[in-house]
Structure 1
Amino acid sequence: MLCKVKTMRNLSIQKTIFYFYSIISNIIINGEHKKMTIELEKYYNKFCEDKRLTRRHGQVEYITSMKYIHEYLKDKGNAKILDVGAGTGRYSVQLANEGYDVTAIELVKHNLGILKSKGSTVKAMQGTALDLSRFQENTFDMTLVFGPMYHLYKFEDKVKALQEAKRVTKSGGVILVAYCMNEYSILTYGFKENHIRESIENGKVNEGFHVISEPEDLYDYVRIEDINKLNGEVKLQRIKLIAADGPANYMRPVLNSMDEDTFKIFIDYHLSTCERQDLLGASAHTLDILRKE
Protein backbone atom coordinates (compact mmCIF):
# COMPACT_ATOMS: atom_id res chain seq x y z
CA MET A 1 0.00 0.00 0.00
CA LEU A 2 2.87 2.36 0.91
CA CYS A 3 4.54 1.69 -2.46
CA LYS A 4 1.27 2.48 -4.23
CA VAL A 5 0.94 5.80 -2.37
CA LYS A 6 4.54 6.73 -3.24
CA THR A 7 3.95 5.82 -6.88
CA MET A 8 0.79 7.94 -7.02
CA ARG A 9 2.62 10.81 -5.32
CA ASN A 10 5.48 10.57 -7.84
CA LEU A 11 3.01 10.56 -10.73
CA SER A 12 1.31 13.61 -9.24
CA ILE A 13 4.64 15.43 -8.97
CA GLN A 14 5.50 14.49 -12.58
CA LYS A 15 2.14 15.78 -13.79
CA THR A 16 2.63 19.03 -11.86
CA ILE A 17 6.12 19.50 -13.31
CA PHE A 18 4.83 18.76 -16.83
CA TYR A 19 1.93 21.19 -16.31
CA PHE A 20 4.17 24.06 -15.23
CA TYR A 21 6.71 23.21 -17.96
CA SER A 22 3.91 23.43 -20.53
CA ILE A 23 2.80 26.80 -19.16
CA ILE A 24 6.35 28.18 -19.20
CA SER A 25 6.93 26.83 -22.73
CA ASN A 26 3.72 28.46 -23.96
CA ILE A 27 4.68 31.76 -22.35
CA ILE A 28 8.09 31.66 -24.05
CA ILE A 29 6.63 30.65 -27.43
CA ASN A 30 3.84 33.24 -27.27
CA GLY A 31 6.38 35.85 -26.20
CA GLU A 32 8.58 35.07 -29.20
CA HIS A 33 5.62 35.22 -31.58
CA LYS A 34 4.50 38.53 -30.05
CA LYS A 35 8.02 39.92 -30.44
CA MET A 36 8.10 38.84 -34.08
CA THR A 37 4.69 40.44 -34.70
CA ILE A 38 5.86 43.73 -33.18
CA GLU A 39 9.02 43.71 -35.31
CA LEU A 40 7.01 42.97 -38.46
CA GLU A 41 4.52 45.74 -37.67
CA LYS A 42 7.38 48.25 -37.32
CA TYR A 43 9.02 47.02 -40.50
CA TYR A 44 5.96 47.03 -42.75
CA ASN A 45 4.78 50.38 -41.42
CA LYS A 46 7.88 51.82 -43.12
CA PHE A 47 8.44 49.36 -46.00
CA CYS A 48 6.17 49.86 -49.02
CA GLU A 49 5.13 46.25 -49.67
CA ASP A 50 2.56 47.42 -52.21
CA LYS A 51 5.30 48.65 -54.57
CA ARG A 52 7.81 45.82 -54.13
CA LEU A 53 6.34 43.59 -56.82
CA THR A 54 5.88 46.47 -59.27
CA ARG A 55 9.61 47.23 -59.54
CA ARG A 56 11.52 45.40 -62.24
CA HIS A 57 13.11 42.74 -59.98
CA GLY A 58 9.75 42.30 -58.24
CA GLN A 59 7.94 42.01 -61.56
CA VAL A 60 10.09 39.00 -62.41
CA GLU A 61 8.98 37.28 -59.20
CA TYR A 62 5.33 38.27 -59.71
CA ILE A 63 5.14 37.26 -63.38
CA THR A 64 6.81 33.92 -62.62
CA SER A 65 4.59 33.14 -59.63
CA MET A 66 1.41 34.06 -61.52
CA LYS A 67 2.45 31.85 -64.42
CA TYR A 68 2.57 28.81 -62.14
CA ILE A 69 -0.55 29.80 -60.21
CA HIS A 70 -2.47 29.90 -63.49
CA GLU A 71 -0.92 26.63 -64.61
CA TYR A 72 -2.38 24.82 -61.60
CA LEU A 73 -5.70 26.67 -61.74
CA LYS A 74 -6.28 25.55 -65.31
CA ASP A 75 -9.85 24.28 -65.81
CA LYS A 76 -10.73 25.32 -62.23
CA GLY A 77 -12.79 28.43 -62.85
CA ASN A 78 -14.64 28.06 -59.55
CA ALA A 79 -11.53 27.45 -57.47
CA LYS A 80 -11.41 28.61 -53.88
CA ILE A 81 -8.03 30.15 -53.04
CA LEU A 82 -6.49 30.98 -49.66
CA ASP A 83 -3.69 33.55 -49.62
CA VAL A 84 -1.81 33.20 -46.31
CA GLY A 85 0.39 36.19 -45.56
CA ALA A 86 -1.27 38.15 -48.34
CA GLY A 87 0.55 41.41 -47.69
CA THR A 88 -1.22 44.26 -49.44
CA GLY A 89 -3.02 41.91 -51.81
CA ARG A 90 -0.89 41.93 -54.95
CA TYR A 91 -1.81 38.31 -55.69
CA SER A 92 -5.16 37.94 -53.96
CA VAL A 93 -6.73 41.05 -55.50
CA GLN A 94 -5.60 40.09 -59.01
CA LEU A 95 -6.93 36.55 -58.63
CA ALA A 96 -10.23 37.87 -57.28
CA ASN A 97 -10.46 40.23 -60.26
CA GLU A 98 -10.06 37.17 -62.48
CA GLY A 99 -13.18 35.70 -60.89
CA TYR A 100 -11.76 33.33 -58.30
CA ASP A 101 -13.17 32.99 -54.79
CA VAL A 102 -10.27 34.38 -52.73
CA THR A 103 -9.75 34.57 -48.98
CA ALA A 104 -6.74 36.45 -47.62
CA ILE A 105 -5.05 36.22 -44.22
CA GLU A 106 -2.57 38.93 -43.21
CA LEU A 107 -0.84 39.43 -39.87
CA VAL A 108 0.21 43.08 -40.24
CA LYS A 109 -2.63 45.59 -39.73
CA HIS A 110 -1.01 48.19 -41.97
CA ASN A 111 -0.85 45.78 -44.92
CA LEU A 112 -4.38 44.52 -44.24
CA GLY A 113 -5.72 48.06 -44.32
CA ILE A 114 -4.20 48.67 -47.75
CA LEU A 115 -5.57 45.34 -49.02
CA LYS A 116 -9.09 46.16 -47.83
CA SER A 117 -8.93 49.65 -49.33
CA LYS A 118 -8.60 48.21 -52.84
CA GLY A 119 -12.31 47.44 -52.98
CA SER A 120 -12.04 43.91 -54.35
CA THR A 121 -14.13 40.84 -53.57
CA VAL A 122 -11.31 39.35 -51.48
CA LYS A 123 -12.47 38.20 -48.05
CA ALA A 124 -9.61 39.71 -46.04
CA MET A 125 -8.99 39.18 -42.34
CA GLN A 126 -6.18 39.44 -39.82
CA GLY A 127 -4.55 36.21 -38.79
CA THR A 128 -1.40 34.12 -38.67
CA ALA A 129 -0.13 31.22 -40.74
CA LEU A 130 0.33 29.28 -37.50
CA ASP A 131 -3.40 29.17 -36.75
CA LEU A 132 -5.95 28.69 -39.54
CA SER A 133 -8.50 27.11 -37.19
CA ARG A 134 -11.24 29.41 -38.47
CA PHE A 135 -11.23 27.27 -41.63
CA GLN A 136 -12.42 23.69 -41.87
CA GLU A 137 -10.32 20.90 -43.33
CA ASN A 138 -10.32 20.44 -47.12
CA THR A 139 -11.76 23.89 -47.85
CA PHE A 140 -9.51 25.37 -50.55
CA ASP A 141 -8.42 24.19 -54.00
CA MET A 142 -5.21 26.22 -53.77
CA THR A 143 -3.31 27.72 -50.84
CA LEU A 144 -0.61 30.36 -51.28
CA VAL A 145 2.00 30.75 -48.54
CA PHE A 146 4.07 33.55 -50.05
CA GLY A 147 5.07 35.60 -47.00
CA PRO A 148 5.13 33.56 -43.79
CA MET A 149 8.23 31.46 -44.51
CA TYR A 150 10.27 34.65 -44.98
CA HIS A 151 9.68 35.57 -41.35
CA LEU A 152 9.20 32.31 -39.43
CA TYR A 153 12.70 31.48 -38.23
CA LYS A 154 12.00 28.36 -36.14
CA PHE A 155 11.78 24.96 -37.81
CA GLU A 156 8.75 23.96 -35.72
CA ASP A 157 6.90 27.14 -36.70
CA LYS A 158 7.55 26.50 -40.38
CA VAL A 159 6.27 22.96 -39.91
CA LYS A 160 3.15 24.29 -38.19
CA ALA A 161 2.48 26.74 -41.02
CA LEU A 162 2.81 23.95 -43.59
CA GLN A 163 0.61 21.64 -41.54
CA GLU A 164 -2.11 24.28 -41.35
CA ALA A 165 -1.87 24.99 -45.08
CA LYS A 166 -2.11 21.26 -45.78
CA ARG A 167 -5.08 20.81 -43.45
CA VAL A 168 -7.25 23.49 -45.08
CA THR A 169 -6.35 22.47 -48.65
CA LYS A 170 -8.52 19.91 -50.42
CA SER A 171 -7.12 16.48 -51.26
CA GLY A 172 -5.51 16.82 -54.66
CA GLY A 173 -5.19 20.56 -54.12
CA VAL A 174 -2.03 22.59 -54.66
CA ILE A 175 0.02 24.52 -52.10
CA LEU A 176 2.58 27.08 -53.27
CA VAL A 177 5.21 28.11 -50.72
CA ALA A 178 7.79 30.89 -51.16
CA TYR A 179 11.18 30.98 -49.44
CA CYS A 180 14.12 33.40 -49.15
CA MET A 181 17.31 31.63 -50.08
CA ASN A 182 20.49 31.52 -48.02
CA GLU A 183 23.11 32.08 -50.74
CA TYR A 184 21.48 35.32 -51.89
CA SER A 185 21.86 36.75 -48.39
CA ILE A 186 25.46 35.55 -48.04
CA LEU A 187 26.52 36.91 -51.43
CA THR A 188 24.74 40.28 -51.22
CA TYR A 189 24.62 41.33 -47.56
CA GLY A 190 27.64 39.25 -46.63
CA PHE A 191 30.14 39.85 -49.41
CA LYS A 192 28.79 42.60 -51.66
CA GLU A 193 27.89 44.88 -48.73
CA ASN A 194 30.92 43.68 -46.72
CA HIS A 195 29.16 42.36 -43.60
CA ILE A 196 30.51 38.82 -43.77
CA ARG A 197 33.20 39.15 -41.07
CA GLU A 198 30.94 40.78 -38.50
CA SER A 199 28.18 38.28 -39.31
CA ILE A 200 30.52 35.36 -38.60
CA GLU A 201 31.90 37.01 -35.45
CA ASN A 202 28.46 37.72 -33.95
CA GLY A 203 27.13 34.26 -34.77
CA LYS A 204 24.72 35.33 -37.50
CA VAL A 205 26.52 33.07 -39.99
CA ASN A 206 27.77 29.63 -38.98
CA GLU A 207 30.80 27.64 -40.16
CA GLY A 208 28.81 26.24 -43.07
CA PHE A 209 27.88 29.79 -44.16
CA HIS A 210 24.24 29.29 -43.21
CA VAL A 211 22.46 32.40 -41.93
CA ILE A 212 21.18 32.08 -38.34
CA SER A 213 18.08 34.23 -37.85
CA GLU A 214 16.27 35.60 -34.79
CA PRO A 215 13.00 37.62 -34.53
CA GLU A 216 14.74 41.00 -34.77
CA ASP A 217 16.39 39.91 -38.03
CA LEU A 218 12.92 39.78 -39.65
CA TYR A 219 13.97 37.46 -42.49
CA ASP A 220 14.98 33.81 -42.41
CA TYR A 221 17.03 32.19 -45.14
CA VAL A 222 17.02 28.54 -46.18
CA ARG A 223 18.73 26.08 -48.47
CA ILE A 224 17.02 23.46 -50.60
CA GLU A 225 17.85 20.73 -48.08
CA ASP A 226 16.02 22.77 -45.41
CA ILE A 227 12.92 22.94 -47.61
CA ASN A 228 13.12 19.21 -48.31
CA LYS A 229 13.29 18.50 -44.58
CA LEU A 230 10.15 20.56 -43.97
CA ASN A 231 8.24 18.75 -46.70
CA GLY A 232 9.31 15.40 -45.31
CA GLU A 233 8.11 16.39 -41.86
CA VAL A 234 4.67 17.42 -43.13
CA LYS A 235 4.48 14.69 -45.79
CA LEU A 236 3.74 16.93 -48.75
CA GLN A 237 4.49 15.77 -52.29
CA ARG A 238 6.51 18.17 -54.43
CA ILE A 239 5.34 18.83 -57.96
CA LYS A 240 8.26 21.11 -58.76
CA LEU A 241 10.59 23.66 -57.18
CA ILE A 242 11.34 26.80 -59.18
CA ALA A 243 13.48 29.91 -58.96
CA ALA A 244 10.92 32.69 -58.53
CA ASP A 245 13.25 35.50 -59.57
CA GLY A 246 16.52 33.83 -60.59
CA PRO A 247 19.29 36.41 -61.08
CA ALA A 248 16.94 39.42 -61.00
CA ASN A 249 17.80 40.64 -57.50
CA TYR A 250 21.52 40.50 -58.23
CA MET A 251 21.13 42.86 -61.19
CA ARG A 252 18.52 45.40 -60.10
CA PRO A 253 20.25 48.46 -61.67
CA VAL A 254 20.69 46.58 -64.95
CA LEU A 255 17.02 45.58 -65.05
CA ASN A 256 15.88 49.09 -64.20
CA SER A 257 17.90 50.56 -67.07
CA MET A 258 16.63 48.06 -69.66
CA ASP A 259 14.23 49.16 -72.37
CA GLU A 260 10.90 47.31 -72.45
CA ASP A 261 11.82 45.01 -75.33
CA THR A 262 15.04 43.87 -73.64
CA PHE A 263 13.21 43.36 -70.34
CA LYS A 264 10.67 41.15 -72.10
CA ILE A 265 13.54 39.07 -73.50
CA PHE A 266 14.95 38.79 -69.97
CA ILE A 267 11.56 37.54 -68.72
CA ASP A 268 11.54 34.94 -71.51
CA TYR A 269 15.07 33.89 -70.54
CA HIS A 270 14.15 33.58 -66.88
CA LEU A 271 10.98 31.57 -67.55
CA SER A 272 12.96 29.20 -69.75
CA THR A 273 15.55 28.56 -67.01
CA CYS A 274 13.63 28.91 -63.72
CA GLU A 275 13.13 25.15 -63.34
CA ARG A 276 16.80 24.29 -63.86
CA GLN A 277 17.99 22.44 -60.76
CA ASP A 278 21.55 23.75 -61.10
CA LEU A 279 20.35 27.36 -60.68
CA LEU A 280 17.73 27.08 -57.94
CA GLY A 281 19.84 27.66 -54.84
CA ALA A 282 21.28 30.93 -56.13
CA SER A 283 17.87 32.56 -56.65
CA ALA A 284 16.81 35.17 -54.08
CA HIS A 285 13.43 33.45 -53.80
CA THR A 286 12.20 29.97 -54.62
CA LEU A 287 8.65 28.75 -55.08
CA ASP A 288 7.89 25.24 -53.89
CA ILE A 289 4.82 23.77 -55.59
CA LEU A 290 3.27 20.94 -53.58
CA ARG A 291 0.28 18.66 -53.82
CA LYS A 292 -1.83 17.35 -50.97
CA GLU A 293 -2.42 13.67 -51.61
Structure 2
Amino acid sequence: MSKIINYYNQFDEWGRLEREPIEFQVNWHYIKKYMPENGCILDNGAGPGKYAMELAKDGYKVTLTDLTPRLVEVAKNKAKELDIEGCFEGFYTADARELTMIKDAQFDSSLMLGPMYHLQEEDDRIKAVKELKRVTKNGGLVFVAFMPRVRHILTSLLFPENWRPNDNLDTINQFSKTGCFNHAEEGRFTGAYYFNIEDINPFMESQGFETLDLIGSNVGAILNNDSWNYWRGKGDEEVTKIINLLKEKATDPYILGISSHLLYIGRKK
Protein backbone atom coordinates (compact mmCIF):
# COMPACT_ATOMS: atom_id res chain seq x y z
CA MET A 1 0.00 0.00 0.00
CA SER A 2 2.99 2.34 0.31
CA LYS A 3 2.90 3.36 -3.38
CA ILE A 4 -0.80 4.12 -3.08
CA ILE A 5 -0.23 6.25 0.03
CA ASN A 6 2.61 8.06 -1.74
CA TYR A 7 0.36 8.73 -4.73
CA TYR A 8 -2.42 10.23 -2.63
CA ASN A 9 0.09 12.19 -0.57
CA GLN A 10 0.96 14.20 -3.68
CA PHE A 11 -2.37 14.06 -5.55
CA ASP A 12 -5.08 16.71 -5.07
CA GLU A 13 -8.16 14.48 -4.69
CA TRP A 14 -10.33 17.35 -3.44
CA GLY A 15 -9.30 19.35 -6.48
CA ARG A 16 -10.07 16.40 -8.79
CA LEU A 17 -13.71 16.41 -7.69
CA GLU A 18 -13.79 20.19 -8.17
CA ARG A 19 -12.30 19.85 -11.67
CA GLU A 20 -14.59 16.92 -12.53
CA PRO A 21 -17.82 18.04 -10.84
CA ILE A 22 -20.08 15.66 -12.76
CA GLU A 23 -18.92 12.64 -10.75
CA PHE A 24 -19.60 14.36 -7.44
CA GLN A 25 -22.95 15.80 -8.50
CA VAL A 26 -24.24 12.50 -9.90
CA ASN A 27 -23.07 10.51 -6.86
CA TRP A 28 -24.49 13.11 -4.47
CA HIS A 29 -27.85 13.04 -6.28
CA TYR A 30 -28.18 9.28 -5.76
CA ILE A 31 -26.71 9.26 -2.26
CA LYS A 32 -29.35 11.76 -1.19
CA LYS A 33 -32.07 9.90 -3.09
CA TYR A 34 -31.49 6.75 -1.05
CA MET A 35 -30.02 8.08 2.20
CA PRO A 36 -32.27 8.31 5.27
CA GLU A 37 -33.02 11.88 6.38
CA ASN A 38 -30.73 11.59 9.42
CA GLY A 39 -28.43 9.18 11.20
CA CYS A 40 -24.83 8.10 11.71
CA ILE A 41 -22.75 7.77 8.55
CA LEU A 42 -19.35 6.23 7.87
CA ASP A 43 -17.27 7.69 5.03
CA ASN A 44 -14.68 4.92 4.69
CA GLY A 45 -11.70 5.69 2.45
CA ALA A 46 -12.96 9.26 2.33
CA GLY A 47 -9.79 10.94 1.11
CA PRO A 48 -10.00 14.62 2.05
CA GLY A 49 -13.70 14.26 2.87
CA LYS A 50 -15.58 15.90 0.02
CA TYR A 51 -18.67 13.76 0.59
CA ALA A 52 -18.23 13.70 4.37
CA MET A 53 -18.34 17.51 4.51
CA GLU A 54 -21.59 17.65 2.55
CA LEU A 55 -23.14 14.98 4.77
CA ALA A 56 -22.07 16.89 7.88
CA LYS A 57 -23.54 20.11 6.49
CA ASP A 58 -26.83 18.25 6.06
CA GLY A 59 -26.85 17.34 9.74
CA TYR A 60 -25.65 13.72 9.67
CA LYS A 61 -23.24 12.46 12.33
CA VAL A 62 -20.18 11.45 10.31
CA THR A 63 -17.16 9.25 11.00
CA LEU A 64 -14.31 9.55 8.50
CA THR A 65 -11.53 7.09 7.73
CA ASP A 66 -8.76 6.99 5.17
CA LEU A 67 -5.55 5.06 4.57
CA THR A 68 -3.48 8.21 3.97
CA PRO A 69 -2.64 10.19 7.13
CA ARG A 70 -2.19 13.45 5.21
CA LEU A 71 -5.72 13.25 3.78
CA VAL A 72 -7.19 12.61 7.23
CA GLU A 73 -5.48 15.81 8.39
CA VAL A 74 -6.81 17.67 5.33
CA ALA A 75 -10.31 16.48 6.24
CA LYS A 76 -9.93 17.63 9.86
CA ASN A 77 -8.81 21.05 8.66
CA LYS A 78 -11.69 21.27 6.17
CA ALA A 79 -14.17 20.52 8.95
CA LYS A 80 -12.64 23.31 11.06
CA GLU A 81 -12.63 25.70 8.13
CA LEU A 82 -16.32 24.99 7.46
CA ASP A 83 -17.19 25.14 11.18
CA ILE A 84 -18.78 21.67 11.16
CA GLU A 85 -16.37 19.84 13.49
CA GLY A 86 -19.26 19.12 15.84
CA CYS A 87 -20.94 16.95 13.22
CA PHE A 88 -17.99 14.54 13.12
CA GLU A 89 -17.66 11.67 15.57
CA GLY A 90 -14.10 10.83 14.59
CA PHE A 91 -11.30 11.09 12.03
CA TYR A 92 -9.23 7.92 11.70
CA THR A 93 -6.26 6.74 9.68
CA ALA A 94 -7.38 3.22 8.84
CA ASP A 95 -7.17 0.43 6.29
CA ALA A 96 -10.63 -0.40 4.90
CA ARG A 97 -9.89 -4.08 5.50
CA GLU A 98 -9.40 -3.58 9.25
CA LEU A 99 -11.69 -1.01 10.88
CA THR A 100 -10.68 -2.17 14.34
CA MET A 101 -11.59 1.12 16.03
CA ILE A 102 -15.24 0.83 14.95
CA LYS A 103 -17.87 -1.28 16.72
CA ASP A 104 -20.29 -3.64 15.01
CA ALA A 105 -23.54 -2.30 13.52
CA GLN A 106 -22.74 1.32 14.30
CA PHE A 107 -23.87 3.13 11.13
CA ASP A 108 -27.19 3.74 9.44
CA SER A 109 -25.36 4.13 6.11
CA SER A 110 -21.76 3.57 5.00
CA LEU A 111 -19.82 4.96 2.05
CA MET A 112 -16.73 3.32 0.55
CA LEU A 113 -15.88 5.44 -2.47
CA GLY A 114 -12.21 4.63 -2.97
CA PRO A 115 -10.76 1.51 -1.35
CA MET A 116 -12.11 -0.93 -3.95
CA TYR A 117 -10.02 0.85 -6.59
CA HIS A 118 -6.82 -0.46 -5.06
CA LEU A 119 -7.45 -3.97 -3.72
CA GLN A 120 -5.98 -6.24 -6.37
CA GLU A 121 -6.45 -9.51 -4.45
CA GLU A 122 -9.94 -10.96 -4.17
CA ASP A 123 -9.38 -11.88 -0.52
CA ASP A 124 -8.65 -8.22 0.26
CA ARG A 125 -11.74 -7.03 -1.60
CA ILE A 126 -13.85 -9.47 0.38
CA LYS A 127 -12.25 -8.32 3.66
CA ALA A 128 -13.07 -4.68 2.91
CA VAL A 129 -16.69 -5.44 2.05
CA LYS A 130 -17.08 -7.70 5.09
CA GLU A 131 -15.80 -4.88 7.31
CA LEU A 132 -18.23 -2.46 5.69
CA LYS A 133 -21.04 -4.92 6.38
CA ARG A 134 -19.90 -5.49 9.96
CA VAL A 135 -20.01 -1.81 10.93
CA THR A 136 -23.34 -1.12 9.16
CA LYS A 137 -26.66 -1.72 10.90
CA ASN A 138 -29.02 -4.43 9.64
CA GLY A 139 -31.07 -2.86 6.87
CA GLY A 140 -28.52 -0.06 6.52
CA LEU A 141 -27.45 1.29 3.15
CA VAL A 142 -24.01 1.05 1.57
CA PHE A 143 -22.59 3.10 -1.28
CA VAL A 144 -19.51 1.50 -2.85
CA ALA A 145 -17.49 2.85 -5.80
CA PHE A 146 -15.93 0.66 -8.47
CA MET A 147 -13.98 1.26 -11.67
CA PRO A 148 -15.17 -0.58 -14.81
CA ARG A 149 -12.57 -2.65 -16.67
CA VAL A 150 -13.90 -1.96 -20.15
CA ARG A 151 -13.60 1.79 -19.64
CA HIS A 152 -9.90 1.48 -18.79
CA ILE A 153 -9.36 -0.66 -21.88
CA LEU A 154 -10.89 2.09 -24.00
CA THR A 155 -8.91 4.79 -22.17
CA SER A 156 -5.69 2.83 -22.77
CA LEU A 157 -6.50 2.60 -26.48
CA LEU A 158 -7.24 6.33 -26.62
CA PHE A 159 -4.21 7.50 -24.60
CA PRO A 160 -1.64 4.67 -24.64
CA GLU A 161 1.34 6.80 -23.65
CA ASN A 162 -0.49 8.06 -20.54
CA TRP A 163 -1.21 4.52 -19.33
CA ARG A 164 1.99 2.55 -19.84
CA PRO A 165 2.46 -0.41 -19.80
CA ASN A 166 -0.97 -0.44 -21.53
CA ASP A 167 0.68 1.01 -24.65
CA ASN A 168 0.57 -2.27 -26.55
CA LEU A 169 -2.17 -4.80 -27.25
CA ASP A 170 -0.50 -7.73 -25.49
CA THR A 171 -0.51 -5.84 -22.18
CA ILE A 172 -4.03 -4.52 -22.73
CA ASN A 173 -5.25 -8.06 -23.41
CA GLN A 174 -3.58 -9.25 -20.22
CA PHE A 175 -5.21 -6.42 -18.27
CA SER A 176 -8.54 -7.41 -19.79
CA LYS A 177 -8.19 -10.82 -18.13
CA THR A 178 -6.91 -9.75 -14.71
CA GLY A 179 -8.27 -6.24 -14.11
CA CYS A 180 -5.00 -5.35 -12.36
CA PHE A 181 -3.13 -2.24 -13.43
CA ASN A 182 0.30 -1.16 -12.21
CA HIS A 183 1.59 2.01 -13.84
CA ALA A 184 5.04 1.81 -15.41
CA GLU A 185 5.83 5.36 -14.26
CA GLU A 186 6.54 6.26 -10.63
CA GLY A 187 4.09 8.62 -9.01
CA ARG A 188 1.17 7.81 -11.30
CA PHE A 189 -2.19 6.17 -10.47
CA THR A 190 -1.22 2.58 -9.74
CA GLY A 191 -1.94 -0.58 -7.78
CA ALA A 192 -5.44 -0.48 -9.24
CA TYR A 193 -8.19 -3.02 -9.76
CA TYR A 194 -11.00 -2.69 -12.31
CA PHE A 195 -14.15 -4.84 -12.17
CA ASN A 196 -16.08 -6.41 -14.99
CA ILE A 197 -19.42 -4.64 -14.69
CA GLU A 198 -21.45 -7.85 -14.71
CA ASP A 199 -19.51 -9.08 -11.65
CA ILE A 200 -20.24 -6.13 -9.34
CA ASN A 201 -23.81 -6.91 -8.23
CA PRO A 202 -23.16 -10.65 -7.73
CA PHE A 203 -19.98 -9.86 -5.77
CA MET A 204 -21.80 -7.56 -3.36
CA GLU A 205 -24.80 -9.87 -3.09
CA SER A 206 -22.51 -12.79 -2.22
CA GLN A 207 -21.32 -10.75 0.79
CA GLY A 208 -24.82 -10.22 2.17
CA PHE A 209 -26.21 -7.15 0.40
CA GLU A 210 -29.41 -6.57 -1.52
CA THR A 211 -28.75 -4.57 -4.70
CA LEU A 212 -30.77 -1.38 -5.06
CA ASP A 213 -28.96 0.31 -7.94
CA LEU A 214 -25.74 0.51 -9.96
CA ILE A 215 -25.05 3.86 -11.59
CA GLY A 216 -22.48 5.46 -13.86
CA SER A 217 -21.00 8.24 -11.74
CA ASN A 218 -19.20 9.93 -14.60
CA VAL A 219 -20.63 9.11 -18.00
CA GLY A 220 -19.62 12.69 -18.81
CA ALA A 221 -15.98 11.53 -18.84
CA ILE A 222 -16.42 10.88 -22.58
CA LEU A 223 -16.74 14.64 -23.15
CA ASN A 224 -13.40 16.33 -23.82
CA ASN A 225 -12.47 19.95 -23.11
CA ASP A 226 -13.63 21.11 -26.53
CA SER A 227 -17.04 19.53 -25.94
CA TRP A 228 -17.41 21.18 -22.54
CA ASN A 229 -16.23 24.53 -23.88
CA TYR A 230 -18.95 24.33 -26.56
CA TRP A 231 -21.72 23.67 -24.04
CA ARG A 232 -20.40 26.19 -21.52
CA GLY A 233 -20.48 28.74 -24.30
CA LYS A 234 -24.24 28.29 -24.43
CA GLY A 235 -24.57 29.41 -20.81
CA ASP A 236 -25.11 28.01 -17.33
CA GLU A 237 -28.69 26.95 -18.03
CA GLU A 238 -27.54 24.64 -20.81
CA VAL A 239 -24.80 23.14 -18.60
CA THR A 240 -27.39 22.49 -15.87
CA LYS A 241 -29.53 20.66 -18.44
CA ILE A 242 -26.56 18.48 -19.38
CA ILE A 243 -25.86 17.61 -15.73
CA ASN A 244 -29.52 16.71 -15.22
CA LEU A 245 -29.42 14.55 -18.35
CA LEU A 246 -26.34 12.72 -17.07
CA LYS A 247 -28.02 12.17 -13.69
CA GLU A 248 -31.04 10.70 -15.47
CA LYS A 249 -28.95 8.46 -17.73
CA ALA A 250 -26.65 7.32 -14.91
CA THR A 251 -28.85 4.28 -14.22
CA ASP A 252 -28.97 3.13 -17.87
CA PRO A 253 -27.16 -0.25 -17.80
CA TYR A 254 -26.22 0.06 -21.46
CA ILE A 255 -23.86 2.98 -20.86
CA LEU A 256 -22.20 1.96 -17.58
CA GLY A 257 -19.05 0.95 -19.46
CA ILE A 258 -18.30 4.47 -20.64
CA SER A 259 -18.31 5.88 -17.12
CA SER A 260 -14.92 6.17 -15.40
CA HIS A 261 -16.49 5.27 -12.02
CA LEU A 262 -19.54 3.32 -10.92
CA LEU A 263 -21.56 3.57 -7.71
CA TYR A 264 -23.15 0.47 -6.21
CA ILE A 265 -26.06 1.10 -3.85
CA GLY A 266 -27.18 -1.76 -1.63
CA ARG A 267 -28.83 -2.69 1.64
CA LYS A 268 -27.37 -4.94 4.32
CA LYS A 269 -29.59 -7.99 4.70
Fold match (TM-score > 0.5): yes
Question: Given that residues 104 and 125 in structure 1 are in contact (C-alpha distance below 8 angstroms), is that contact kept between their aligned partners in structure 2?
Answer: yes
Question: Given that residues 243 and 286 in structure 1 are in contact (C-alpha distance below 8 angstroms), is that contact kept between their aligned partners in structure 2?
Answer: yes
Residue 231 of structure 2 aligns to which amino acid in structure 1? M
Cα distance change, pair 137–166 in 1 and its aligned pair in 2 (3 A):
same
The equivalent residue for 2:250 is 274
Q: CA RMSD in A?
A: 2.2
Q: 1:288 aligns with which of 256, 260, 264?
A: 264
Q: Which has the larger radius of gyration?
A: 1
Gaps of 5+ in 1: 1-35
Query: Structure 2: how far apart are the matches of 1:143 and 1:250?
Result: 29
Indicate the SS of the match to 2:3. Answer: helix
The equivalent residue for 2:53 is 93
The equivalent residue for 1:213 is 181
- The CA deviation at 1:198 is 4.0
Question: Given that residues 186 and 211 in structure 1 are in contact (C-alpha distance below 8 angstroms), is that contact kept between their aligned partners in structure 2?
Answer: no
Indicate the SS of the match to 1:65. Answer: helix
- The CA deviation at 1:59 is 1.0
Cα distance change, pair 215–82 in 1 and its aligned pair in 2 (3 A):
farther
Cα distance change, pair 233–88 in 1 and its aligned pair in 2 (3 A):
same
Query: Structure 2: how far apart are the matches of 1:239 and 1:156?
Result: 24
Question: Given that residues 217 and 259 in structure 2 are in contact (C-alpha distance below 8 angstroms), is that contact kept between their aligned partners in structure 1?
Answer: yes
Indicate the SS of the match to 1:206. Answer: helix
**Does 2:231 match 1:264?**
no
- Deviation per CA, 1:250-291, whole angstroms, max 9, x where unpaired? 214122553222221111111111111111122111100010
Query: Structure 2: how far apart are the matches of 1:144 and 1:157?
Result: 17
Question: Given that residues 159 and 233 in structure 1 are in contact (C-alpha distance below 8 angstroms), is that contact kept between their aligned partners in structure 2?
Answer: no
Query: Structure 1: how far apart are the matches of 2:47 and 2:175?
Result: 34
Query: Structure 2: how far apart are the matches of 1:104 and 1:172?
Result: 21
- The CA deviation at 1:228 is 3.1
Q: How does 1:53-202 map to 2 (within 5 A)?
A: 53-55=17-19, 58-74=20-36, 76-77=37-38, 79-118=39-78, 119=80, 120-121=84-85, 122=88, 123-193=90-160, 198-201=167-170
Residue 4 of structure 2 aligns to which amino acid in structure 1? L
Residue 262 of structure 1 aligns to which amino acid in structure 2? E
**Does 2:184 match 1:222?**
no
Cα distance change, pair 143–197 in 1 and its aligned pair in 2 (3 A):
closer
Question: Given that residues 141 and 170 in structure 1 are in contact (C-alpha distance below 8 angstroms), is that contact kept between their aligned partners in structure 2?
Answer: yes
Question: Given that residues 97 and 131 in structure 2 are in contact (C-alpha distance below 8 angstroms), is that contact kept between their aligned partners in structure 1?
Answer: yes
Residue 198 of structure 2 aligns to which amino acid in structure 1? E
Indicate the SS of the match to 2:140. Answer: strand
Q: Please, what TM-score do these two structures have when normalized by structure 2?
A: 0.86
The equivalent residue for 1:10 is none
Query: Structure 1: how far apart are the matches of 2:63 and 2:176?
Result: 40
Query: Structure 2: how far apart are the matches of 1:197 and 1:48?
Result: 24
Question: Given that residues 109 and 140 in structure 2 are in contact (C-alpha distance below 8 angstroms), is that contact kept between their aligned partners in structure 1?
Answer: yes
Cα distance change, pair 69–200 in 1 and its aligned pair in 2 (3 A):
same
The equivalent residue for 1:238 is 211
The equivalent residue for 2:223 is 251
Residue 189 of structure 1 aligns to which amino acid in structure 2? S
Question: Given that residues 201 and 211 in structure 2 are in contact (C-alpha distance below 8 angstroms), is that contact kept between their aligned partners in structure 1?
Answer: no
Cα distance change, pair 130–196 in 1 and its aligned pair in 2 (3 A):
closer
- Deviation per CA, 1:190-233, whole angstroms, max 9, x where unpaired? 334366864543x4642856633359833221111331342243
